[in-house]
Amino acid sequence: MTVTQDERRNGVDTATLFATLDAVKGQHEIAKFQFRASNNWVNGVHSRSKFAGFYGAMQELEHQHVTEVESDHPAVLVGQDEAPTPVEYLLHAIAACLTAGIANIASARGVTLTKVTSSVEGDIDLLGVLGLSDGAVRNGYEQIKVNFHIEGDADEETLRAIVEQSRRRSAVYDALTNPTPVVVSVSTS
């Protein structure tokens, strides 16, 4: 079978995408994933994480490449500004998750995209983190705004519906807008 234009629309292998959906329908266990990161403190508020392996599709898997990312605080927040702050990575996560969904959903709906860009803004009042608000100001973002610009061979209504469906199905959108349990444990020796 030759791969046709339709099967790789937007670079998405829709035939495999639909086959994957069918496989998961037949065996729900395939859909259980565990993603992982390991982090090492470097110095000051600078630390580095690695992404290597994960569990999914009923097996231990490794990414093709190990990726390292770093965080620090800017000078104005008493860091060395070696890397973006931890909270900035949340902005990448929401943009990248919605964009991936847009590409998959557009492809499934037969829409060829020519451009998808987004800018993300997260407003945060550090009175919370600094412990100066008596609990009146939250620690995290007060609001995150994601502004998409999307172009493709479909009308505006169709393009907007693709973004909306991506929002409804987004793992990161859910993780941010609804409570996600986070358990912190500690060993000291």
Choice from 6, 27, 39, 110 touching its own copies (CB under 8 A): 39
In the DSSP assignment, the letter for residue 67 is E
Restricted to residues 158-187, the positions that interact with its own copies (CB under 8 A) are 159-160, 163-164, 167, 169-187
Q: Is 27 in the site for its own copies (CB under 8 A)?
A: no
| Minimum gap (Å) between residue 66 Cβ and its own copies | 10
- 102 with 117: CB under 8 angstroms? no
Task: Quote the tokens at residue 106.
Answer: 């557009």
As measured in angstroms, the least distance from the Cβ of 166 to its own copies is 9
Q: Rule CB under 8 A: is residue 4 a binding residue for its own copies?
A: no
Specify the length of the chain in residues: 189
Determine contact, residues 183/114, Cβ cutoff 8 Å: no
Cα(86)–Cα(141) distance, integer angstroms: 12
Q: Is 115 in the site for its own copies (CB under 8 A)?
A: yes
Contacts of its own copies in 70-109 (CB under 8 A): 70-100, 102-104
- Asked if residue 63 binds its own copies (CB under 8 A), the reply is yes
Strands 59-71 and 46-56, how do they pair? antiparallel
Query: What is the closest distance, in whole angstroms, from the C-beta atom of residue 175 to its own copies in the complex?
Result: 3
Site for its own copies in 123-162 (CB under 8 A): 123-132, 138-151, 156, 159-160
Tell me the C-alpha distance between 154 and 157, whole Å: 8
Considering the complex, state which of residue 2 and residue 34 has its C-beta at the smaller distance from its own copies.
34
Element (H, E) at 20: helix 14-26
